[in-house]
Amino acid sequence: MPHLTGKHFFALLLLLPLSLLLASCAAPDNGALRFGLSKMPVTLDPRFSTDATSSRINRLLYQRLVDFDAASMPAPSLATWQKLSPLHYRFTLASERALFSNGERLTSEDVKATYAFILDAENASPHRLTLARSIERIETRGDDVIDFILKEADLLFPGRLGIGILPRALIESQHPFNRSPLGSGAYQLVAWPDDTHLRLKRRSDDLLLEFIEVTDPNVRVLKLMRGEIDMMQNDLPPELIRYLSNESGITITHGAGSNFAYLGFNMEDEFTGVQQVREAISLALDRDSIIQYVLGESARPANALLSPDHWAGAPALHQIAYDPAAAKSLLMPLGYTPENPLHLTYKTSSDPFRLRLATVIQQQLAEVGIKVELKSYDWGTFYGDIKAGRFQMYSLMWVGIKLPDIFRYVFHSTAVPPEGANRGRFIDAETDRLIEAAEAANTIEKQSELYQQLQHHLVQQLPFVPLWYEDHVFIARDHVSGYTIARDGNYDGLLDVKRQ
């Protein structure tokens, strides 16, 4: 055994870290426009993506047959369509269309291969269910025409074809699109060197774009202020947005959003299952104050799941009033007063901002005689409890709602988890009837009318209290221009973004 002196030991102790330090040097800044994200995309394979970030970035990498207009009505994207019969839709690809980034032309065979892969149960695509319910088979007619034959009439069918199209040859060779995406979108992958950096290139002008994950919102703001990132969207608490609004060299843009926040009830619970209790809660909430003081004016009060500008929205729906006196008078006959309060539990996630909102709601309900115990859990536990019906009240948000079939998914009596997302176990014959009638409608106009009736009915039944639609906030350094905020919060603004 060699003699180890103290000097040798210290030298070893210092040399090991030093050698690792020198090995740690990474690539320097590459001059790209840098976009700060709170979470990186999980997968860049649109057949499997379900998280918002993946879906938003996939929109930049892949083209899809159908998109949505400002009223969330399906609109042509890569293809136009004809409804040849209630069970037969024909899609024709645009003659002028971008090539895949490997130079290949996108054809009807690529469309068929993409959807056939999703429909194959063995591939376990999370998008299979929605499509498998509708599609009987897919047929191609030449390079540009694809026929979708349906199992049953579905007025909303074109709106279900929003998945990015992949090249057939690479699907067949089991190309790993999740890390090496290859589409015909406006951007193409340059590199995904690690899980916190993703580099894309805009195909029209070679503009480099780098997504950088910065989990902590404070640090994301500091990076923006120091110029280490150039822009970001959402995922910031209002106080940080207020702070940034006083900083020079930074521009903040707000855009109306359609992400719907609500307070859900367990209808099987002996307390929240009572109509008067739910009404009292809805009347006790001062949503305008919460929007003004807690959300920093970055939201619009909501009265229904679909925003009023949605084609099936209900703009005539009356605003739920803030009336604590009426709330008290509803609780009084039930024996509850501020002195003898009703005790309820309210579950929320451990996100600090959601917890703060819950605290404000707790205080507002206390004033009318409802003593709320807050319980916050990590996301998985919280979500698991909600799906299992282990709650009295909870708050959550619906993100990216486009099609009104969400109503079946959320409110139909057959949609209790795991069959759907009727988490509150709301069973109501009239609601079922209106949903089924809307689905069976022959025209979009009739369908819209029935969904509006449904939303009026839901406001009376109150299986949830609509809270607000949260705005989208885009924050950029002054040299960034040309970005427009999308209503659903996607990153399509990056198609036109410029560095001045």
d(CA 113, CA 165): 9
d(CA 202, CA 496): 10
When the beta carbons of 293 and 379 are compared against other proteins, the nearer one is 379
Contact 167, 181 (CB under 8 A): no
- Among residues 152, 378, 436, 478, which is the contact residue for other proteins, using CB under 8 A? 378
The count of C-alpha atoms lying within 13 angstroms of the C-alpha of 94, restricted to the half-sphere facing its C-beta, is 13
d(CA 198, CA 39): 11
- The verdict on 414 binding other proteins (CB under 8 A) reads no
Beta bridge partners of 137: 149
Nearest distance from C-beta of residue 28 to other proteins, angstroms: 6
- The verdict on 4 binding other proteins (CB under 8 A) reads yes
Nearest distance from C-beta of residue 5 to other proteins, angstroms: 8
- Among residues 11, 39, 86, 440, which is the contact residue for other proteins, using CB under 8 A? 39
Write the single-letter amino acid at 183.
G
Q: Which stretch binds other proteins (CB under 8 A): 106-114, 215-223, 279-287, 431-439?
A: 215-223
- The verdict on 27 binding other proteins (CB under 8 A) reads yes
Q: Residue 423: exposed, middle, or buried by beta-carbon count in 10 A (0-12, 13-18, 19+)?
A: buried
Nearest to 152 by CA among 128, 135, 129, 131: 135
- The verdict on 42 binding other proteins (CB under 8 A) reads yes
- The verdict on 420 binding other proteins (CB under 8 A) reads yes
Q: Which stretch binds other proteins (CB under 8 A): 120-128, 269-277, 364-372, 434-442?
A: 120-128
Residues 320-339 touching other proteins, rule: CB under 8 A, are: none
Q: Is 302 helix (H, G, I), strand (E, B) or coil?
A: coil
d(CA 193, CA 179): 10
Hey, what are 324's tokens? 């604590």
When the beta carbons of 24 and 443 are compared against other proteins, the nearer one is 24
Hey, what are 55's tokens? 């879906």
Count CB neighbours of 18 within 10 A. Answer: 10
Nearest distance from C-beta of residue 299 to other proteins, angstroms: 25
- The verdict on 247 binding other proteins (CB under 8 A) reads no
Q: Is 308 helix (H, G, I), strand (E, B) or coil?
A: coil
d(CA 303, CA 319): 6
When the beta carbons of 78 and 241 are compared against other proteins, the nearer one is 241
When the beta carbons of 8 and 83 are compared against other proteins, the nearer one is 8
Nearest distance from C-beta of residue 333 to other proteins, angstroms: 38
- Among residues 103, 380, 460, 500, which is the contact residue for other proteins, using CB under 8 A? 380
User: What is the total count of residues that contact other proteins (CB under 8 A)?
Assistant: 67
- Among residues 20, 205, 443, 460, which is the contact residue for other proteins, using CB under 8 A? 20
Helices (H), 26-145: 52-61, 108-119, 128-134
Strands (E), 350-463: 370-377, 393-398
Nearest distance from C-beta of residue 198 to other proteins, angstroms: 12
- The verdict on 222 binding other proteins (CB under 8 A) reads yes
- The verdict on 153 binding other proteins (CB under 8 A) reads no
Cα-Cα-Cα-Cα dihedral sign, residues 145, 148, 149, 154: negative
- The verdict on 429 binding other proteins (CB under 8 A) reads no
- The verdict on 417 binding other proteins (CB under 8 A) reads yes
Helices (H), 50-159: 52-61, 108-119, 128-134
- Among residues 143, 419, 430, 496, which is the contact residue for other proteins, using CB under 8 A? 419
Q: Which stretch binds other proteins (CB under 8 A): 80-88, 151-159, 195-203, 353-361?
A: 195-203
When the beta carbons of 419 and 430 are compared against other proteins, the nearer one is 419
Q: Is 23 helix (H, G, I), strand (E, B) or coil?
A: helix
Nearest to 86 by CA among 157, 161, 139, 145: 157
- The verdict on 174 binding other proteins (CB under 8 A) reads no
Q: Residue 447: exposed, middle, or buried by beta-carbon count in 10 A (0-12, 13-18, 19+)?
A: buried
When the beta carbons of 328 and 408 are compared against other proteins, the nearer one is 408
Stretch 46-75: interaction string toward other proteins, x if CB under 8 A: --x-xx------------------------
Helices (H), 412-485: 429-440, 444-461
Q: Which stretch binds other proteins (CB under 8 A): 37-45, 86-94, 339-347, 484-492?
A: 37-45
Q: Residue 130: exposed, middle, or buried by beta-carbon count in 10 A (0-12, 13-18, 19+)?
A: middle
Residues that bind other proteins (CB under 8 A): 1, 4-7, 9-10, 13-14, 16-18, 20-29, 39, 42-43, 45, 48, 50-51, 121-122, 124, 126, 128-129, 176, 178-179, 194-197, 212-216, 218-219, 222-223, 225-226, 228, 378-381, 384, 387, 409, 415, 417-421
